[in-house]
A and B are shown apart, each in its own frame.
Chain A
């Protein structure tokens, strides 16, 4: 009888709506943490350093960060805190950081480490490494993605561009390639020792692989029309490129050892932006068989092509990580003004779609190497990060001209 009543109540309860319940818990799993600055650098630099440290901790999603910039003489009470960070940042010789993590209740040192880097400009990397280490020490999932370089190309004039190396906050920036038109930088290996880029300074667009430390440059391929390295296989042995040897932009896979090229798409329209997905067994890419740009998937072991996005007026860029994809969708049909572009996360099969942004012009979505963070460009002049599991977001301004392409 009880079962019957329970069953009838449920039928009555869910009859009117789609029976999907999502229960959001409001239980804070984060560690509360305060930051004490014992540095003696000039106030402007001290303030920037503190801000990066604070932002790094926030974007992990693992820390509830006390926003007060405590100085050495005004250390906070440990009450209500789990941890306290004490640090001393020095710019005497390059940049160095002495950092301690204290258990707030006992003042016991849980972790301490000294960090050095030869160039003061690179001090943000000290902060990122320290926060990554603290995160690991406490036992949270890795945030090593924040130690990686971001590389991007930006226009600097007509047929002029620069390729720039940066930390993820864009605080550190260094022009790496300038002069002429050099575009589409893409990291060539996990360690970020090499990158692919396209030079438009000869008769044909030419793809090079550059060792950023030795300066060694290797010509990979050239093609009439266009040449772009879109993705690199996890072991670096193969790359996906868009090229057009007969004027038709298609996706090819190139074996980086043998140089053998394998054409993967044959549609007569546009096929670009190939990304390895599902453990390298398939690619997702952008194509326009319906007259507008959209996201499609193709197995590397078959010929079937599947459309995997079914909304948006123009979805012209995507990225993939394992069984997840992110893409930018134009939400309105205006040619120019008042258009909104939002970033969406979905499975590589096309389900589980959810928006990651809700307004503005959000483009160039890129997964972090662990797939937990999505980087994107907002309104052309800011770079954003979304922690897709923790729902934390950060935005940083990008000084300078329009971003052409970006990778990390």
Chain B
């Protein structure tokens, strides 16, 4: 009981000491004016798009674990197959992709790290680094939009073009 009374006393003292004055209507004086808000003309811009979708030219996409950018051993046969084709190409574009669970910048960086991991693997197998360009498309180019684990896994990939 003493404990409760003491706490109540502390609360009452603190509340009383901290009381602030409220703004009174009588402190507010009259004013009248007219303003016009700038109604700027916001322009619209259009850009073209080439509509790429998945790997092309017989190359195979490489898939990744959730949140990871290291190439797993089960992707080795795909990498080997891709190297054979890539040796005959003068320019290879690697597009890193992610599932929808990241947020803005980090997801694009994750896609880029995946693309870069594939690039390093290609270079280690004899492909010239100067023939490879990278881009991350984050979660902007999903191959599958169903809310299933299999579907999300399809979107964590690097496409070859």
Contacts and interface: CB of A to CB of B under 8 A. Distances in A.
B103 A226 contact: no
A13 B2 CA distance: 10
A180 B14 contact: no
A137 B27 CA distance: 10
B135 interface: yes
Contact of A225 (B22, B25, B46, B136): B136
Contacts of B26: 103
- Range for the number of chain A residues in contact with chain B: 35 or more
Contacts of A184: 104-105
Nearest to A249: B109
Contacts of A115: 34-37
A265 B134 CA distance: 20
A224 B37 contact: no
B137 to A, nearest CB: 7
Interface string B78-118: 00000000000000000000001111111111111101100
A7 interface: no
A184 B104 CA distance: 8
Interface residues of B, number: 71
Contacts of B74: none
A116 B103 contact: no
Contact of B28 (A139, A182, A244, A402): A139
Interface stretch (A38-46, A52-60, A169-177, A252-260): A169-177
B73 interface: no
Nearest to B40: A213
A158 B113 contact: no
Contacts of B27: 139
Given A27-B15, A112-B32, A247-B134, A181 B41 contact: no
B44 A175 contact: yes
A104 B149 contact: no
Nearest to B136: A226
A176 to B, nearest CB: 6
Most buried by A among B45, B101, B113: B45
Contact of B106 (A205, A247, A316): A316
Nearest to B101: A336
Most buried by A among B14, B111, B112, B149: B112
B140 interface: yes
Interface string A103-127: 1110011111111111100100110
Contacts of B128: none
Given A13-B6, A184-B105, A293-B106, A199 B136 contact: no
Contacts of B48: 179-180, 201
Nearest to A227: B108
A228 B112 CA distance: 13
Interface string A1-45: 000000001000100000001010101010100000000000000
Interface in A225-255: 225-226, 228, 230, 242, 244, 247-249
B43 to A, nearest CB: 4
A117 B38 CA distance: 7
Most buried by B among A116, A161, A328: A116
A363 B139 CA distance: 16
B42 interface: yes
A385 interface: no
Interface in A180-208: 180-184, 199-201, 203-205
Interface string B5-40: 011001100110011101101111111111111011
A179 B152 contact: no
B58 interface: no
A249 B31 CA distance: 55
Contacts of A25: 15, 18-19
Contacts of A9: 2, 6
Contacts of B110: 270
Nearest to A230: B105
A253 to B, nearest CB: 16
Given A94-B39, A158-B51, A180-B48, 19 more contacts: A9-B6, A21-B10, A25-B18, A103-B25, A112-B31, A113-B31, A174-B42, A176-B42, A181-B140, A184-B104, A244-B134, A247-B116, A248-B116, A249-B108, A270-B113, A272-B106, A273-B106, A336-B101, A404-B138
Interface of A: 9, 13, 21, 23, 25, 27, 29, 31, 82-83, 94, 101, 103-105, 108-119, 122, 125-126, 129, 137-140, 155, 158-161, 165, 174-184, 199-201, 203-205, 210, 212-215, 217, 224-226, 228, 230, 242, 244, 247-249, 269-273, 286, 292-293, 314, 316-317, 328, 335-336, 363-364, 402, 404-405
25 contacts: A13-B3, A13-B7, A111-B28, A113-B32, A113-B33, A155-B139, A158-B142, A176-B44, A180-B49, A184-B104, A199-B47, A205-B135, A225-B116, A225-B136, A228-B105, A230-B105, A242-B109, A244-B109, A270-B113, A272-B105, A272-B106, A273-B106, A335-B149, A363-B103, A404-B104
Q: Closest 9 CB pairs between A and B?
A: A118-B39, A180-B49, A247-B116, A215-B43, A179-B46, A316-B106, A180-B47, A103-B25, A249-B109
